[in-house]
């Protein structure tokens, strides 16, 4: 039977969700039906469709007792809203249904595995949560929490594991018929570890091993892990809290880390060889992946930064959005990301300019808009080299978001200082790109409230939220010195979108 908490959430989203006009949301990025969204959850294939759940607090634009919101899609672009899937309505999850994942069971049902949070107290009276892992089974819309919950708790932790920080199970099924889950945990040194568990039925779990440990090197607690084979390697993704910067690779606060290595189940387990940030922009956290039937590993993330969740438009009725789903690959020890190829089917009118000499700031005919897919390539003009190159987007007399490339330093910088957010938060981020003899290629996706940049065919990605008024739709190009520029711009068309 449906609990009151879930019924209330569904009534609430039915009543208020439809009041948000489509053009006040992104055209192709997922937003919550109403209220607050954080991590993507349960990103998976179910009965031939892609399902996405998300951390959800429908009743305000702030984080609160966590529910799971739900959408599904066939093409990663058009998302159908489904009713809220989970509410914090059981003793073991009263303080929240935290992040988790989903699988299709062999009998055709859909299973969700999530972290149930119970509120407790420290001996000196402070609030302290206890986290356990729970499951719910359903038909793709309605889910029943099982009576065996919680299916994993403090008893199942390795010796130095914390019950306070034990969360975010990412579940998958292997060919041997067993289910595996990676879960974030805090260890005695105060920093994170990723634990691997195995089960034949998702109810009784056994601890297999610790896959990797932070050892206070990359932030503290490791949240939201994912683990999968890709291009002959194994990839472990995690989102560390409390990072301190390392050069331009990792920034302060909540970061994301991609560990690439080899996995030998019968021997040492996972041995990491390469470590990098996953996204180099201002807004990206808690990514999760799925495997498509045609073998593509697709990642989606929360396009937001915990440190800046207070910076939002006054009274906004939705807050939080996902990134574009991205196709992943591993090449030369690096993670490559490109927008899902399905995006190309939304491409409408195309404007191309080639070999345009740029020095000073120029507009190019037909290049403007806030919902588009644009690739900009810049190179030196023969002998002459440029010192810097800027693309300004979402621009009018008052606003702009700047993407600046400096070949001598091999840095790309995003600057949204003048994007219209009236809050004193971090607005710029720079990162190292690989020098290519002065040539630089940037694929830039705009979608009303965001800018996502894919550098040099996916070598790096950088995502940033903006809240610039939609009328600010100019785009300009500018070089310090002289540069040659190619621009290929497609407007993107979706049923609900009349913009370009
Ligand atoms: C990451 C996170 C998860 C947790 C969820 C709670 O953003 O902190 O670790 O499950 O958000 O909403």
pLDDT tens track for 127-153: 999 999 999 999 999 999 999 999 999
Verify cis geometry, omega within 30 degrees of 0, for the bond prior to 150: yes
Q: Which atom of ligand 1 is nearest to the CA of 39?
A: 7
Q: According to the model, what pLDDT value does residue 436 have?
A: 79
Q: Grade residue 410 by pLDDT with cuts at 50, 70 and 90.
A: very high
Is beta strand 318-319 parallel, antiparallel or unpaired with respect to 35-46? parallel
Asked if residue 499 has pLDDT above 50, the reply is no
Q: Which of 181, 243, 286 to mutate to test ligand 1, by most ligand atoms within 8 A of the CB atom?
A: 286
Structure confidence by residue, pLDDT tens digits, 52-62: 999 999 999 99
Strand partners, 41: 53
Strand partners, 112: 102, 136
Residue 473 designated active-site: no
Structure confidence by residue, pLDDT tens digits, 295-317: 999 999 999 999 999 999 988 99
Q: According to the model, what pLDDT value does residue 385 have?
A: 86
Is beta strand 269-277 parallel, antiparallel or unpaired with respect to 388-395? unpaired
Q: According to the model, what pLDDT value does residue 267 have?
A: 85
Q: According to the model, what pLDDT value does residue 498 have?
A: 42
Mean pLDDT of the chain: 96
Q: According to the model, what pLDDT value does residue 496 have?
A: 52
Q: Which of 35, 40, 42, 55 to mutate to test ligand 1, by most ligand atoms within 8 A of the CB atom?
A: 55
Distance between Cα 96 and ligand 1 center (Å): 10
Q: Which two tokens stand for residue 145?
A: 């929490």
CA neighbor of 165 nearest in space, from 252, 216, 98, 244: 98
Q: Grade residue 202 by pLDDT with cuts at 50, 70 and 90.
A: very high
Q: According to the model, what pLDDT value does residue 369 have?
A: 98
CB of 79 shorter than 6 A to ligand 1: no
CB of 93 shorter than 6 A to ligand 1: no
| Across 54-77, average pLDDT | 98
CA neighbor of 227 nearest in space, from 138, 328, 338, 114: 328
Residue 153 near residue 138 (C-beta atoms within 8 A): no
Q: According to the model, what pLDDT value does residue 384 have?
A: 80
Q: Which two tokens stand for residue 476?
A: 């300009």
| Across 261-278, average pLDDT | 95
CB of 31 shorter than 6 A to ligand 1: no
Q: Which atom of ligand 1 is nearest to the CA of 63?
A: 12
From CA 432, how far away is CA 393, in angstroms rounded? 21
Residue of the CA atom closest to atom 12 of ligand 1:
98
Q: According to the model, what pLDDT value does residue 500 have?
A: 37
Q: Grade residue 192 by pLDDT with cuts at 50, 70 and 90.
A: very high
> Reading across the β-sheet that carries 166-173, which strands appear in turn?
166-173, 179-186, 192-199, 205-213
Structure confidence by residue, pLDDT tens digits, 482-491: 999 999 999 9
Phi, psi for 80 (deg, rounded to 5): -100, 130
Q: Name the catalytic one among 22, 39, 124, 396.
A: 39
From CA 82, how far away is CA 225, in angstroms rounded? 25
Asked if residue 497 has pLDDT above 60, the reply is no
Q: Which of 32, 98, 194, 308 to mutate to test ligand 1, by most ligand atoms within 8 A of the CB atom?
A: 98
Q: According to the model, what pLDDT value does residue 438 have?
A: 77
> Which distant-in-sequence residues (6+ apart) come within 8 Å of 18 by Cβ?
none
Q: Which two tokens stand for residue 17?
A: 């969700």
CB of 38 shorter than 6 A to ligand 1: yes
From CA 17, how far away is CA 27, in angstroms rounded? 16
Residue 41 near residue 114 (C-beta atoms within 8 A): yes
Structure confidence by residue, pLDDT tens digits, 438-472: 799 999 999 999 999 999 999 999 999 999 999 99
> Which distant-in-sequence residues (6+ apart) come within 8 Å of 96 by Cβ?
65, 66, 88, 115, 116, 117
CB of 97 shorter than 6 A to ligand 1: no
Residue of the CA atom closest to atom 9 of ligand 1:
223
Asked if residue 235 has pLDDT above 50, the reply is yes
| Across 191-207, average pLDDT | 98
Structure confidence by residue, pLDDT tens digits, 361-376: 999 999 999 999 999 9
Q: Which two tokens stand for residue 469?
A: 């008024």
Q: Grade residue 268 by pLDDT with cuts at 50, 70 and 90.
A: confident
> Which distant-in-sequence residues (6+ apart) come within 8 Å of 111 by Cβ?
102, 103, 104, 105, 135, 136, 137, 171, 202
CA neighbor of 134 nearest in space, from 161, 104, 97: 97
From CA 22, how far away is CA 494, in angstroms rounded? 11
């Amino acid at each position: 039977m449906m609990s009151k908490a879930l019924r209330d959430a569904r009534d609430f989203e039915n009543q208020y969700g439809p009041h948000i006009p489509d053009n006040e949301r992104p055209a192709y990025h997922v937003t919550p039906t109403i209220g607050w969204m954080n991590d993507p959850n349960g990103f998976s294939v179910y009965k031939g469709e892609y399902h996405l759940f998300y951390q959800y607090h429908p009743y305000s634009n702030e984080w609160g007792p966590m529910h799971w919101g739900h959408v599904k899609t066939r093409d990663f672009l058009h998302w159908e809203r489904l009713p809220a899937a989970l509410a914090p309505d059981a003793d073991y999850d009263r303080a929240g249904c935290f992040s988790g994942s989903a699988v299709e069971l062999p009998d055709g049902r859909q299973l969700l595995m999530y972290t149930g949070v119970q509120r407790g107290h420290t001996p000196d009276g402070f609030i302290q949560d206890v986290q356990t892992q729970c499951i719910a089974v359903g038909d793709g819309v309605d889910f029943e929490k099982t009576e065996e919950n919680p299916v994993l708790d403090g008893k199942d932790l390795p010796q130095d594991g914390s019950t306070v920080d034990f969360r975010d199970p990412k579940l998958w099924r292997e060919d041997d018929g067993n289910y595996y889950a990676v879960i974030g945990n805090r260890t005695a040194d105060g920093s994170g570890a990723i634990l691997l568990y195995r089960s034949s039925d998702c109810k009784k779990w056994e601890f297999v091993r610790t896959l990797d440990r932070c050892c206070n090197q990359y932030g503290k607690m490791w949240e939201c892990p994912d683990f999968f084979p890709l291009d002959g390697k194994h990839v472990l993704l995690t989102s560390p809290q409390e990072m301190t910067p390392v050069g331009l690779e990792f920034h302060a606060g909540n970061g994301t880390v991609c560990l690439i290595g080899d996995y030998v189940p019968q021997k040492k387990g996972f041995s990491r060889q390469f470590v990098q940030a996953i996204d180099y922009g201002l807004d990206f956290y808690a990514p999760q992946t799925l495997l498509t039937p045609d073998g593509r590993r697709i990642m989606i993330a929360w396009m937001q930064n915990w440190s800046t969740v207070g910076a939002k438009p006054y009274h906004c009725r939705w807050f939080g959005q996902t990134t574009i789903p991205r196709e992943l690959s591993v090449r030369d020890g690096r993670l490559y990301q490109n927008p899902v190829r399905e995006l190309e089917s939304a491409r409408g009118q195309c404007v191309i300019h080639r070999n345009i000499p740029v020095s000073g700031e120029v507009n190019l005919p037909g290049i403007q808009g806030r919902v588009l897919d644009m690739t900009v390539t810049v190179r030196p003009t023969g002998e002459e080299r440029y010192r810097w190159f800027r693309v300004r987007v979402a621009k009018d007399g008052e606003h702009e978001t700047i993407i600046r490339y400096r070949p001598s330093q091999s840095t790309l910088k995003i600057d949204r200082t003048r994007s219209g957010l009236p809050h004193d938060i971090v607005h710029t981020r720079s990162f190292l790109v690989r020098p290519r003899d002065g040539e630089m290629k940037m694929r830039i996706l705009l979608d009303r409230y965001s800018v996502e940049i894919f550098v040099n065919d996916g070598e790096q990605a950088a995502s940033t939220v903006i809240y610039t008024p939609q009328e600010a739709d100019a785009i300009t190009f500018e070089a310090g010195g002289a540069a040659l520029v190619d621009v290929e711009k497609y407007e993107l068309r979706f049923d609900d979108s009349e913009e370009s």
